[in-house]
A and B are shown apart, each in its own frame.
Chain A
Amino acid sequence: LAKTTQPISMDSYEGQEVNITCSHNNIATNDYITWYQQFPSQGPRFIIQGYKTKVTNEVASLFIPADRKSSTLSLPRVSLSDTAVYYCLVGEVAGNNRKLIWGLGTSLAVNP
């Protein structure tokens, strides 16, 4: 069972780059690392996913070192609307299904 550890909260300012690091020491060989964003009273939204090295999409970048025991979500030039809870997940594969184990996430506050 691959658990994750993230900072409980972070503060930032508009226009800054935000890096949220997650540790997952017991990640399994076949597991991918996935990050979700959640606004109050909404469902989690998929941000980015990776297996190793670096992944970039239009929203964020994900950096994964060679040992895969941690990962860093990078949000470039955050805005007020990026204030949300960010979850790092490593799914437990059970047969053909993937049961996501959630932590408390990182509550990011972006200030003007």
Chain B
Amino acid sequence: EPEVTQTPSHQVTQMGQEVILRCVPISNHLYFYWYRQILGQKVEFLVSFYNNEISEKSEIFDDQFSVERPDGSNFTLKIRSTKLEDSAMYFCASTRQGASNQPQHFGDGTRLSIL
């Protein structure tokens, strides 16, 4: 069964540095998402992306965050000037269509640790 893959599985970065988290969505999927989960807390929506542009973003997704689909397979989340509170699991998800009845498929996440 096709999967969403994310790299790296664990990223350790100094505060203030930039980090890029990478995702390869399922190949025939068109809608892409990033979520984050701080340890012991809820999964939180960050951003959705379709047709090479952001469809919706949450208040968490401020100017330090950006997303890009640099080629036909990768979907990246960039965090500029990381802060301690950015430490979390970051999950990428994709879905074939954006309608309500299409489930989102998640990768296993990148654990981001900011020192």
Minimal Cβ-Cβ distance residue in A for B92: A43
A41 pairs with B111, CB closer than 8 A? yes
- Of B45, B97, B105, B108, the contact of A46 (CB 8 Å cutoff): B105
B interface, size bucket? 20 to 34
Q: Binding site of A, secondary structure by majority: helix, strand, loop or mixed?
A: loop
Is A98 an interface residue when CB atoms closer than 8 A count as contact? yes
- A contact residues, total (Cβ < 8 Å): 27
Which residue in chain B gives the minimum CB-CB distance to A39? B108
A79 to B42, CA, bound (A): 25
Give A81 to B69 CA distance when docked, in angstroms: 36
B11 interface residue, CB < 8 Å from A?
Answer: no
Binding site for B on A (CB under 8 A): 30-32, 34, 36, 41-46, 49, 51, 87, 91, 93-104
